[in-house]
Structure 1
Amino acid sequence: MLLPFIQAIVPVLICAGLGAWLARKTTLLNNPALPELVTRIGLPCLILHALVKMDSGIMAMSHTVAAIVLVLVISATVAAGVMKLLGIEIRWYLSLLVNPNTGNLGIPLVVALLGDKALIHAVVISTVVQISHFTLGVWVMSGAFSPKKILLNPSIIALVLGGLWIALGIPTPVAITRTLDLLSGMTLPIMLLLLGRSLATIDLRNMANLKLIGGMSLARVLLGTGVALLVAQLLGLDPLVAHTLVLQSAMPVAVITYILASQYGGPRDEVAAIIMGSTLLSMLMALVLSLVYLHPITV
């Protein structure tokens, strides 16, 4: 059972480690335009590529969509309430508690543990979480609600175009698919390299917010897992859908959160530390789930 975890997490750690090494030894990652390249070109192409390759429309996955939306709404409500009581700044930390890493970590882990039949559910969940990143995430981190900015966000435009493409049943030319594949291929590596760059600057001995980092890392994993288990029970989901939902919701803080924190001047070093802390805790949670909860349909 450990092999799927190793196969899923090792590439992430290698890329982040390479980013940390490059940051210490070179100036290759110092260009401030790199995050902009990811948000304006890479992510929209990644979303479009995933959508046009789907075999069925999003409407055919209504139970999966409803379940993840409910998980996000409940998680946001609980997290915002608790942070307000504790005096934690909602602007920088709400999105990272609500939106998990369902893409570059969640999807391969779901497929490794649940098989290819779970892939479509994992992709649908990841797509909805992407929307949350660029609505809830952009809204709270920018400090202002701007429907115009949200609607003009390249990733939102890509989601709308992809949805229309699927709804109209338009065949995707091979040339377009290959172009999207090429452009989207740069996204996750750059994101992970930038994450490693930030990690290279962290000195845990001088980190004043170690308690906050540890608490947020643990809260991300426990909140996502607990709410997903509750929603799966309330909606009476099919086991494959339920298990995919719980696994995806148990994932760590998404690397996209780090990109957004960098873009809006947030505490990116703390966010980077929370990403790594929650990744380790998430892998432990996934191992527990695979032994206790996923076992009946694990392949």
Structure 2
Amino acid sequence: MFSTYLNALFPVVFCAALGLGLALRTTLLDAPALSKLVTLVGLPSLILSALLGMQTPIWAVSDTLFAIVSVLVLSAVLGAVGLKLAGLEVRGYLSMLVNPNTGNLGIPLVFALLGQDALIHAVVISTVVQISHFTLGVWLLSGQFSAKAIFSNASIIALIAGIVWVVTGWHTPEAVSNTVDLLAGMTIPVMLLLLGKSLSTIDLRELGRLGTIVGLSAGRVLLGLGSALAVVAVLPLEPVVAKTLLIQATMPVAVISYILASHYHGPKDDIAAVILVSMPLSLIVVFGVLQVFPMLG
């Protein structure tokens, strides 16, 4: 099992490390439009490719939607209570605890561990978490709610369009599916390279508040895992959905949490440090989950 996990994890870690190295030594990843390319073209194409090529019934996606929303709601309630007990500001830290890195890290890791069949569930979960970032996250940090940010999101538009296409049973021309697959193929590698680039911008000196940083890091990973385990225990999910949900929910703090905190004057330095600490912790916990729970074997 350990060698299997390492074989699946190696491409993910290598690509992220390559992105880190490129960011430190070159300007190849400096173009601001690169992340927009992934957001506006790559990820929507990945969603459409997964939906149009899915072998499972469309209602399996509705199960995934309900499951991840349940995880986020449960995490928000427990996280708010935990932050209050710890004496930390709910406004600044709750979104970070609730919303994992299901995009840059979660999607590639699920694909590496579980294969093509799990990809649709991974991108659906990631899209819901994106919505959470721009609802719960923006609302907490800014005190305002933006519906425009949700309905203008390319991933959400692609998800809705793909579901409508599949439900109606329209035939997808081969030329269209080949084009979507080609565009989708760039997404996972570029996402990992950008993840590495984002890590290069984090100031390691912020690890000075080690106790708080470690506590928040453990809180993010264990809160997500615990909430997902509770949902999996209650809902009759297909094995591939349950596996994807558990892995995605256990992911570390998302880089977008740092970006939003920087924009809205939140605790960005703490969040940057938690990203670094929670990432290896998350990968260790995912391996433990794979070992302990037979349903994931």
TM, length-normalised to structure 1: 0.80
SS at match of 1:171: coil
Report matched runs for 1:267-286 at 5 Å. Answer: 271-286=271-286
AA of the residue aligned to 2:79: A
Write the distance in 2 (CA, Å) between the matches of 1:94 and 1:79: 6
Write the distance in 2 (CA, Å) between the matches of 1:47 and 1:225: 24
Post-superposition CA distance 1:41-100 (Å, at most 9, x none): 332222222222223444245444333221111101221333345454545543332233
Residue 7 of structure 1 corresponds to which residue in structure 2? 7
Report matched runs for 1:157-196 at 5 Å. Answer: 157-196=157-196
Q: Is the 8 A contact 1:38 1:191 kept in 2?
A: yes
AA of the residue aligned to 2:99: N
Residue 204 of structure 1 corresponds to which residue in structure 2? 204
Write the distance in 2 (CA, Å) between the matches of 1:197 and 1:265: 22
Q: State yes or no: 1:248 paired with 2:248.
A: yes
Report matched runs for 1:44-83 at 5 Å. Answer: 44-83=44-83
Q: Which runs of 5+ in 2 are unaligned?
A: none
Q: Is the 8 A contact 2:67 2:231 kept in 1?
A: yes
SS at match of 1:198: helix
Q: Is the 8 A contact 1:98 1:224 kept in 2?
A: yes
Residue 147 of structure 1 corresponds to which residue in structure 2? 147
SS at match of 2:144: coil
Q: Is the 8 A contact 1:76 1:98 kept in 2?
A: yes
For residue 123 of structure 1, report the CA deviation from its aligned partner.
5.3
Distance 1:71 1:267, change over 3 A: same
Q: Is the 8 A contact 2:55 2:117 kept in 1?
A: no
Q: Which runs of 5+ in 1 are unaligned?
A: none
Q: Is the 8 A contact 1:9 1:105 kept in 2?
A: no
Distance 1:120 1:35, change over 3 A: closer
Distance 1:197 1:227, change over 3 A: same
For residue 2 of structure 1, report the CA deviation from its aligned partner.
0.9
Q: What's the C-alpha RMSD, in Å, of the aligned pairs?
A: 3.4
TM, length-normalised to structure 2: 0.80
Write the distance in 1 (CA, Å) between the matches of 2:43 and 2:116: 24
Write the distance in 2 (CA, Å) between the matches of 1:141 and 1:221: 21
Give the number of equivalent residue pairs. 297
